[in-house]
Amino acid sequence: MSAPSRRILLVDADAFFVAVARQVDPEGAGKAKLLIVGGSAESRGVVCSASYEVRKYGVRSGMPISRAVRLCPAALCVPVPGPECSRQSRAIAAVLARWTPVVQASSIDEWYLDLGGTEALYDEPLAATAHRIRAAVHEATGLSVSIGAGTSKLVAKVAVEVAKPGAGGDGVHEVAPGTEEQFMRRFALADLPFVGPKLAEKLARNGLRRVPDALAYSEEALVGLLGARTGQWLYEWVRGIDARPVAERAEQKSVSREDTFAHDLHEDADLERELLRLSERVAADLRGDGLRARTITVKVRDADFVTRQAARTLDTAVESDRAVAAVARELFRRLRKTRRVGVRLLGVALSGFGEAAAPAQLALFDAAGAGEPATGGAPPMETERDRRLAHTLDAIRDRFGREVIGPAALRDAADRRARGPVARRVPLSDGTE
């Protein structure tokens, strides 16, 4: 008696970063059909995601924003809403966990599900279950997902591309057991996961451009052409054979924030202000994941593309904006001391994680010394008051928006940008101004 076929789904959030950006800013991004997420139109960053309407102009993820704007000048460009993306990703994962305990996060917007053994529980075709999962995710988050279904992670991954609305699908595409090879025949080899540009180019030089081209080769012939490991792998891949299990993703190693500036920054005051902004955001991401970090790393990419970094590992893990910003500033000043040139990119990363327990709520007008050590000894890197204050600010920002409260240095800079250039008072020859 043969083993039952595996029942694997890949859940892919549709244009995830675009959809979340529209939720965050319904009056701006929410009304823009032509939308690019990744930074401002003047930035030197790359496209994180683009709406389906923009993709028709040839805009793709990873493309420099400057090029994307040339391809689609009418597009609105907005930054990535990082904290909200993390929150919605966790919300989707929580919904998926209600359907099966075996959920593997492949990325912030993709999850594999193994529904093996659930046949009696749901008593319906796999595609029907997938449609119900889509409805549950939308009800809980307001976001749309597409689902590929099949007997392997590979087939589910390829099937989800057919399921997407942008490809003309209805949100779910199932590849029935026994039809995997026939399904795979429709694709170019370059469309398959893990067939990168170099391998695709090598295959094309040998006349292998589409899956049927490779299906015509024996395993021995592919091994002779590509070597044992790649040849054997491709022989199975084009037939939809993939034995990889669905398993929980390895523990998260780090969280980071970085920004590529529209113009090189030279002044320390400007750079430290941007460093403070990044420190505040990455610390919020850390707390959102329920973590604390011992290692803080600052990355600098100079105007000549030389990339440097410095790190410090603390005795105890931290989570507050104040602690992260203080260490990041120390590291940044160390890097600036060794080389003072224009800066193109700045980044802050946190790692060396430990679980964090949410502190009790703090009243904003508690005494300044609350939670501080009494007297004697070096002050701690982070106090309990720092942690409570950080969580309180998170709650305020979640309710009223990130810009409603923050460090004075950042608010002053924002106010100056909003006011524009300030006219100087110049004394006239008669002594008046």
For tokens 């960053």, name the residue.
Answer: 45
Residue type, 298: V
Instruction: Show Cβ contacts of residue 87 under 8 Å, excluding neighbours closer than 6 positions.
Output: 288
Query: Alpha-carbon distance 122 to 105, whole Å?
Result: 23
pLDDT of residue 423: 37
Which of 266-280, 302-316, 416-430 comes out lowest in average pLDDT? 416-430
| 254-419 under CATH 3.40.50.300, yes or no | no
Statement: 8-13+94-237 belongs to CATH 3.30.70.270: yes
Q: How far is CA 324 from CA 309, 355, 371, in A?
A: 16, 16, 18
Lowest-confidence pick of 107-111, 118-122, 127-131, 299-303: 118-122
Q: Give the pLDDT of residue 133.
A: 97
Cα 73 from Cα 52, distance rounded (Å):
15
pLDDT for the residue numbered 250: 55
Which residue is listed with tokens 């595996």? 6
Which residues have C-beta within 8 Å of that of residue 314, sequence separation ≥ 6?
A: 294, 295, 296, 327, 381
The one catalytic residue in 27, 42, 110, 272 is: 110
In the structure, what pLDDT confidence band is assigned to residue 430 with cuts at 50, 70 and 90?
Answer: very low
Domain 16-83 belongs to what topology?
A: MutS, DNA mismatch repair protein, domain I (3.40.1170)
Mean of all residue pLDDT scores within the chain: 85
Secondary structure element (H or E) that encloses residue 77, with its range:
strand 76-78
> Binding site annotation covers 242?
no
Q: Where in the chain is the domain with CATH 3.30.1490.100?
A: 254-419
Query: 76-111 pLDDT, tens per residue?
Result: 999 888 888 988 999 999 999 999 988 999 888 999
Strands 76-78 and 35-37: parallel
Q: Residue 240: which of 280, 191, 183 has the closest Cα?
A: 183
Q: What is the pTM of this model?
A: 0.68
> 24-28, 158-162, 309-313, 402-406 — which is least confidently predicted?
402-406
Residues contacting 247, CB < 8 A, separation 6+: 102, 104
For the question of residue 110 being annotated catalytic, the response is yes
Q: Is the dihedral of CA 353, 359, 361, 362 positive or negative?
A: negative
CATH 3.30.70.270 residue ranges for the chain: 8-13+94-237
12 is in an annotated binding site: yes
The answer on pLDDT for 405 being more than 80 is no
Q: What pLDDT score was predicted for residue 367?
A: 41
